[in-house]
Amino acid sequence: MYHGIASSDVTLDALLRLALDAAFDAVIIHKPDGTLLYWNEVAARDAGFPTTDVVPVPPWGFSPSPHAVRKKRLEEIERVGFSRFLSSTVEYDGSKHVIEVSARWFTTDQGPVIISIARDVTEQTDAEAALREMALHDSLTGLANRNMLEERMKMAVASAERHGDILGLMFIDLDDFKPVNDSFGHDVGDSVLCALARRLEAGIRAEDTVARVGGDEFVIVLPRLMRPEDLTVAAQKVLSMIREPIDVEGEIINVDATIGHALFDNGHDDSHGLMIRADLAMYQGRRAGIHINGAETIR
């Protein structure tokens, strides 16, 4: 929209309005009680109203944030004079956006006003979320990777140390998985790994974590078990799930595994030691021909 200003009308106020309407960010000025004093063309467009037919709204009224949240923001702005926050908004067309708002309190002759500058950061936050997803999840299966596993392990160990929770860990290694890739191809092998990942995710509790830590190696963290023997029961269930035939485009693939498991020994263990003991139990079980093998408690 082009705005013409006659030379006789070129005032500072007119130029400021032109500058605000030319801005890429939304600019909103309102009183603390929500009385709308001004918003520029970007704000009007984002709200879905033409600039000639703008309706007053309460502070950040298009945000679905609860009233208590908006009230707290206003109190912070009044107390410290400034606030910056992210707000999820629903625009007139129903699309959801993430808005970064910088709001500042000003005292004028007509009373206090709040000037807010709002910027749509949806693409930026989506990109950051995608990067976080990549950093914490295995690219093939979507399971937790080593980074997320380490975070979950630290949380589980801290809870076990603080509350005396029973914490268990399983280290799973698929038996002779290389022939699957050699006989059927890596695409089929990848499909098998993804199918196993979905089974493991479906077979655990919401508080458990399944991670892929190698080509055919998985780890399951089981915090807050009811009884120590529940870890062995869970390992037997996992082995049964792995052994169920997998149909990949008409090819029936059978997979087996060796599972080593260990219980966290409060006062003698840490997350690294727990992982080593479960891994060692898996290798000992494989050498002995035992598919499920538990590590002894450290004393």
Report whether 103 contacts 110 (CB < 8 A): no
As given in the structure block, the two tokens for residue 191 are 């499909």
Sheet with 292-294, edge to edge strand ranges:
209-212, 217-225, 166-175, 256-263, 292-294
- The catalytic position among 138, 216, 265, 269 is 216
The sign one gets for the Cα dihedral 188, 193, 194, 198 is positive
* Rounded Cα distance, 39 and 56, in Å: 10
Percentages (nearest 5) of helix, strand, coil residues in the chain: 40, 30, 30
User: Which residues, at least 6 apart from 33, have a Cβ–Cβ distance to it below 8 Å?
Assistant: none
User: Which residues, at least 6 apart from 81, have a Cβ–Cβ distance to it below 8 Å?
Assistant: 104, 105
What number of helices (H) and strands (E) belong to the chain?
Answer: 9, 12
Task: Say whether 9 is catalytic.
Answer: no
> Which DSSP category does 139 fall into?
T
- Which is nearest to 169 in space by CA: 209, 216, 205? 209
What is the identity of the amino acid at 156? A
Q: Where in the sequence numbering do the catalytic residues fall?
A: 216
